[in-house]
Structure 1
Amino acid sequence: MREGLNDLPALALGFAKCAHRQQKRKYTGEPYANHCRNVASIVADYTNDPDVIAAAALHDVLEDTQVTPAEMRDVFGERVTLLVIEVTDVSRLEDGNRDERKRLDREHLARSSAEGATIKLADLIDNTSSIVKYDKGFAKAYLKEKELLLDVLQHGNLDLWTRAFLTLQEAQRELIHASLEPGQA
């Protein structure tokens, strides 16, 4: 079906919006598809490859919806689907505690392509940018996980990796400042 598509990223955003239609962002309650759009937009700042931008829009579809890889492949082709698979968490609850599951996911991401790492960096940026604002209690552990994740994504776009690093540093500074506020000690 992919032949003749003029705007693959726009099709992917529409598909993601439909696939995630019942989901809301945890802290804001906004449609989950907004996150998909944000990640695709960040990726589009660093590449004009429509497959990579489309995969960025679809990055959580296999992980968080009932869409199968075969269904995605039928619409978007092999390359887009493989990129989404690269950034899809492989761990399951039965794999152990959160630390163990995140370790398994990092090992998977360490083997991703440069394009897959680039998508995951954009995801990290969008997810990290407001964690301190919405969940100071969880932010410390979350930011440590993202620090470890950055270590295995160095093969992604270098400028985007730097942006992710700076986003993480800013979130860590925000957390320190938040802990200095009265009543936060």
Structure 2
Amino acid sequence: MPAPDLAAMLIVLDACAYATRMHAGQQRKYTGEPYVLHCLEVVRIVAALLHDVVEDTEASIEDVRNQFGEEIARGVAWLTDVSRPDDGNRAVRKTIDRDHLAQAPADVKTVKLADVISNTRSIVDHGDGFARVYLREIAALLEVLSEGHPELLQRAKAEVARGVAKWLA
């Protein structure tokens, strides 16, 4: 087994500390767990600890760029919803965000697949009627994530199918 790259490990640890600070006090819907646990679950699937930090905290892409560099900031920017409340109703906003992700590089789509797996599992197992809306949105999103890692795509589809069986059958 090759020796770990110390610089890469320090970036990951720094990202973990940053995400923990930024998400401090936030809780997951349905489970009440600290929100950062969702980020760590996604990391177990694929390294993407900062995937929600701009979308869900006061952190900006510029903050991420200054702390972690251009490449990581670019990935976080692709993963951050671009729609705004004044763009229209939820369906319109989700279409805008889906179209944005459709243009993302394959590695970003892989991170999004890991995020979908984690979120879908949580919403299906602990959610309420929102699961019905969410599952339809995610089924549409998976259509534009086909360039992501094939195994993660299959896992995401399996989680959606499990949710459909529970909530929409």
Equivalent position amino acid for 2:56 in 1: D
TM-score scaled by structure 2?
0.91
Cα separation, 1, equivalents of 2:156 and 2:8: 30
TM-score scaled by structure 1?
0.83
- Paired residue for 1:68? 60
> Structure 1: which 4+ aligned runs deviate by more than 4 Å?
none
- Paired residue for 2:20? 17
- Paired residue for 2:155? 163
Q: Deviations over 1:45-88 (max 9, x none)?
A: xxxxxxxx2xx110111111111222211221111110000010
Cα separation, 1, equivalents of 2:37 and 2:127: 19
Tell me if 1:36 matches 2:36.
no
Say what the alpha-carbon RMSD is for the aligned residues. 1.4
- What are the ranges of 5 or more consecutive residues in structure 2 without an aligned counterpart? 1-5
- What are the ranges of 5 or more consecutive residues in structure 1 without an aligned counterpart? 44-52, 178-185
User: How far has the Cα of 1:159 moved from its partner?
Assistant: 1.1
- Paired residue for 1:5? 7
Equivalent position amino acid for 2:166 in 1: E
Pair 1:117–1:6, CA change in 2 (3 A): closer
Equivalent position amino acid for 2:33 in 1: E
Q: Deviations over 1:80-112 (max 9, x none)?
A: 110000010001110100000000000000001
131, 135, 138: which one aligns with 2:127: 135
Say whether the 8 Å CA contact 2:79–2:112 is kept in structure 1: yes
